[in-house]
Amino acid sequence: MGRPVLRTELCDLLGIEYPVILAGMGPVAGGLTGPVATAPLVAAVSNAGGLGVIGGAGFSAERLREEIRKVRSLTDKPFGVDLLLPSNYMGGAAGGEMPRDPRELIPAAAREGLKRIVEELGVPWQEMPREPAAEPRRPRTGGMSDEQMEVVIEEKVPVFASGLGSPAPWLDRLKANGTKVLALVGNVKNAKRVAAAGVDIVVAQGTEAGGHTGRVATMALVPQVVDAVAPTPVVAAGGIADGRGIVAALALGAIGVWCGTAFLVSEEANQPALQKQRILAATDEDTRVTRLYSGKTMRNITNPLIEAWEAAGIQALPMGLQGLLIQDLVYSCRQAGREDLLMNAAGQISGMLNRIRPAADILHDMVAQAAQILARDLPARVTAVPES
């Protein structure tokens, strides 16, 4: 048998064979190995007929440029870059003159609270060795991804996805390059905001998703976003790991899917074996949303540190500052061999995953199952009665 045919409007918009987009997954496990979605995984998904997306948030500007060029050396298919554009980065401090050492912005009570929790878990607190503080700088727009965005524009990347926040300030320059722009949202309000700004595709991500996520479930969110932003097309995300999820997304009005957790356990995913195995061992109830690791709500495989942090009721700092706060935590856990306490982003769909295999196999099985459901299974089970 030949390859299954499963085409939607998304395929024509992005120049891909199948309506499946790899989530641009950034660092996990405390950044032990950098982003998950690096060139090997991105190229594997694109070569298999989907759209691979680089998790650019874990790269410096020049490393991102290298990764973009590496992807181009591995595939001639379209691909994308995902960056985070949070509106309250560093608590707003990044819009002005930064102190020489941004850690000066971290309240002592927050640091002491985290230190106490870590030591109660049997991990000796150790401060990470510091590089000499750089000269203070004033970011151009006060965002965390300004320098990387310049690289995306200079490299004329085919697709850009904002994993957090609105890409509105960059839209004119991106579209001048012919770049298709996606924006991830977790509610109808933000969907309307990015659609009005002029993005090409809205990605409606339900709370089931791993990593940064919102509060509304995929089944409820997607049709509301579809109705709210029409005629802007919508891609569904959150809790989609097989062909059944693709079919459900299409039934809700989406034109394709954005998938992360399913590819976290691919051979090409750039993350430690421990993190992959914890996802494979997880059940449907083994994830938890926490602000511990970034300051934003993020779904992770739960662990004793997350449980203790949440129980303590410590207020998370804004994104950027929270990342600085946990640097010593990450260092302490690594030194103590407790990588199990580090960030292990994954969605509720983890309970469906049971083996590590090539990304192309994951994608092709999803597409084949979806095609069979649409072409054979549903028509055999459903009788449509015309109106009299």
Which residues in the chain land under pLDDT 70? 1, 29-32, 88, 90-100, 131-143, 388
| Cα 98 off chain centre by | 28
Q: Which phi and psi (to 5°) does residue 84 adopt? A: -105, 130
Query: Is residue 216 within 8 Å of residue 207, measured between CB atoms?
Result: yes
Q: What is the pLDDT of residue 98?
A: 61
**pTM across the whole model:** 0.93
Could you tell me if 35 and 58 are in contact, meaning their C-beta atoms sit under 8 angstroms apart?
yes
> Which residues make Cβ contacts (< 8 Å) with residue 271, sequence separation at least 6?
28, 29, 32, 33, 36, 264
> Residue 267 is encoded by which pair of tokens?
């051979």
Q: How far apart are CA 289 and CA 68, in angstroms?
A: 31
Q: Write the pLDDT tens digit of every residue in 87-135.
A: 767 665 555 556 667 778 889 999 999 999 999 999 999 988 876 554 4
Element (H, E) at 288: strand 287-290
Q: Tell me how many helices (H) and strands (E) the chain has.
A: 16, 11
Among 298, 321, 320, smallest CA distance to 186 is for 298
CA distance 44 to 52: 7
**Tell me, what's the pLDDT at 135?**
47
- Per-residue model confidence as pLDDT tens digits over 248-269: 999 999 999 999 999 999 999 9
SS3 117: helix
Sign of CA dihedral 74, 77, 78, 79: negative
Run of H or E including 160: strand 159-164
What the block records as the tokens of 187 is: 């509610």
